[in-house]
Amino acid sequence: MTNQRIYAMSFASVYPHYVAKAGKKGRTKSEVDAVILWLTGYAQADLERHLDAGTDFASFFAGAPCMNPNRTLVTGTICGVRIEEIAEPLMQEIRRLDKLVDELAKGRPMEKVLRKPAP
């Protein structure tokens, strides 16, 4: 699948897969939403609006109010590719989201998924 095809894909068409993946491991829709909101800076109402509108990935990320500065701490591999080595910024953001959902689904504590310092 080409990057342009992924960028044009509706975020709402992939969102249920994120929720299902996390749900299989006992995580909740609200936790998936928290990961998305942390990464993009959207409010819950904004996320719901984008899901209802069928916003594509390119527009979803382009319209993000404030990408989290700590997102660069999301590293590692996803689909056999190191996130920090992905050249296209939009694809890098999409893969960061994939990685965050993977970590959530693997049972990692929310503080670690969201790159929060321990209390």
Residue-wise pLDDT for 37-86, tens only, equals 999 999 999 999 999 999 999 999 999 999 999 999 999 999 899 999 99
In single-letter form, the type of residue at position 20 comes to A
Tens digit of each residue's pLDDT (9 = 90 or more) over 88-101: 999 999 999 999 99
**d(C-alpha 55, C-alpha 77), whole Å:** 26
Structural domains in the chain, sorted by start: 3-107 (1.10.8.290)
* pLDDT bucket at 1, cuts 50 / 70 / 90: low
- Confidence at residue 68, expressed as pLDDT on a 0 to 100 scale: 96
**Which residue, chain included where needed, has tokens 């342009």?**
4
